[in-house]
Chain A
Amino acid sequence: ETGVTQSPTHLIKTRGQQVTLRCSSQSGHNTVSWYQQALGQGPQFIFQYYREEENGRGNFPPRFSGLQFPNYSSELNVNALELDDSALYLCASRLDRVLSYNEQFFGPGTRLTVL
């Protein structure tokens, strides 16, 4: 069984640029969530996608957007990058949004540095 994978591992961008991060869910998982983990903090929920639609969003501005594809892989897009966007971005997948709670499986993350 393939776990959650993310690409790239590391990324350096400059302020004002745009970035796309990618995630492949664990096999059979149709719900994906994205989290931002700043240095010294716990992960913060950005949004969740279920069957290609955004379903739940945390306290992040609209310049954070996402996509989920029919194969349940996902992208996180961030426009107009700011220095504070420097963080570890984590993708997590779970089996089905409508079932009773089940655990989320996290990928290794993408380390984004904004200069």
Chain B
Amino acid sequence: DQQVKQNSPSLSVQEGRISILNCDYTNSMFDYFLWYKKYPAEGPTFLISISSIKDKNEDGRFTVFLNKSAKHLSLHIVPSQPGDSAVYFCAASGTGTASKLTFGTGTRLQVTL
């Protein structure tokens, strides 16, 4: 049972444009959501997070939006840069299980020139 889903395995975006990566979850007990970026031969790197009490969090070019009623979150990257090309994982955790992250299957983003 996949509790965190990333339905788009891959996404290609032109440099300078907006990248939108989507994530859906099914477990209502999740209250903290994170995005990780992963390059080949490296471990996942934390990008940005959001608590369930918020609906938006920004950090530079990265913004995460949370729609609790739809159990949906998205990561916006503006403007996209070639160095953003990587696999992006959405992850979620529940109260009292802060170290147990449930990950989606990832979306491979390619930013083209």
Contacts and interface: CB of A to CB of B under 8 A. Distances in A.
B103 interface: yes
B43 A45 contact: no
A103 B99 contact: no
Contacts of A42: 4, 6, 89, 91, 103-106
Nearest to B87: A42
Interface string B27-61: 00000101010000111111001010000000000
Contact of B103 (A4, A44, A102, A108): A44
Given A90-B44, A103-B34, A108-B43, A40 B101 contact: no
Contacts of B98: 94, 97, 101-102
Contacts of B100: 33, 45, 48, 56, 58
A44 B1 CA distance: 12
Contacts of B34: 103
A106 B103 contact: no
Nearest to A93: B99
B99 A48 contact: yes
B97 A56 contact: yes
A31 interface: yes
A106 B45 contact: yes
5 contacts: A41-B105, A45-B102, A94-B98, A94-B99, A108-B42
